[in-house]
Amino acid sequence: MLHVNILPADRHGPFSYIYADATAREAASGLVAGDVGKLALQLSDSTLWVVAGTSPISWTGVTYIHPANHAASVITQDASNRFVTDAEKASWTSKQPAGTYAVGTGFANGPNSGDETLATIKAKLGVTVLSGDNTGDQILPTLSSLGAQAALVSGTSIKTVGGVSLLGSGDIPASPVRMNPSTITENLTIPSGYNAASTGPLAIAEGTTVTLNDNSIWSIL
């Protein structure tokens, strides 16, 4: 038998007859041949009965078999419960993993997860704008755009040879005369296996040491 809860408003819908209980249904009278096949509701247990015959009156209980499956079209969906298609799932699977990524058109923009932020990079470089095409990685500015020297120039701590700076453009001028100071003012060591020559007379300043290692020669001309 089918046991269902029927709302009062539904009791006079699809049913031809409504009986309080089995006793009332079995005591029914006045049914005619045209009533065969009509449906009756028995309120005491919410079972359904079909008029099987009228001479005498007989009933057949309705047996309901719930289907094993329901078509998706009969399922009510809402904002929290919805179906998705295979195409939608494939699209979601191919999405970029969650995280914060650089965005923009041609220029790096941060912050980038796992990388230095753009603001930090600019602060370390001492610049306010990073330029260049963004083809996977932001191209950093050239040294000249950062204020670096295109060519090294002389300064207060630059060594010279014969008064000529080792830095700058061009070659050190060639000279037929080689000069050396007449006083040695810094400690000097001639390594083993090397020969050295100086033009004298030479003086060694107080507190200054000249060291000759084994197998080294220092000639004063």
Q: Where are the domains of the chain?
A: 8-61, 101-139, 183-220
CB 59 within 8 A of CB 49: yes
Q: Using CB atoms within 10 A of its CB, is residue 58 exposed (0-12), middle (13-18) or buried (19+)?
A: middle
**pLDDT recorded at residue 126:** 72
Q: How far are the Cα atoms of 6, 47, 63 from residue 3, in angstroms, in the given order?
A: 9, 5, 9
Q: d(Cα 193, Cα 204) in Å, to the nearest integer?
A: 23
**pLDDT recorded at residue 124:** 75
CB 213 within 8 A of CB 191: yes
Find the radius of gyration of the CA atoms of the chain. 53
Burial letters for 171-183: b for 16+ Cβ neighbours within 10 Å, e otherwise?
eeeeeeeeeeeee
Handedness of CA 78, 83, 89, 91 (dihedral sign): negative
Q: How far are the Cα atoms of 20, 28, 196 from residue 45, in angstroms, in the given order?
A: 9, 17, 124
> Residue 22: how many CB atoms within 10 A of its CB?
14
Ordered mean pLDDT values, 10 residues apiece, the chain (221 residues): 41 73 92 91 91 92 81 89 91 78 52 60 71 49 54 60 63 75 90 90 90 89 86
**pLDDT recorded at residue 125:** 74
Handedness of CA 65, 70, 75, 79 (dihedral sign): positive
**pLDDT recorded at residue 147:** 56
User: Could you give the 3-state DSSP secondary structure of residue 119?
Assistant: helix
**pLDDT recorded at residue 8:** 43
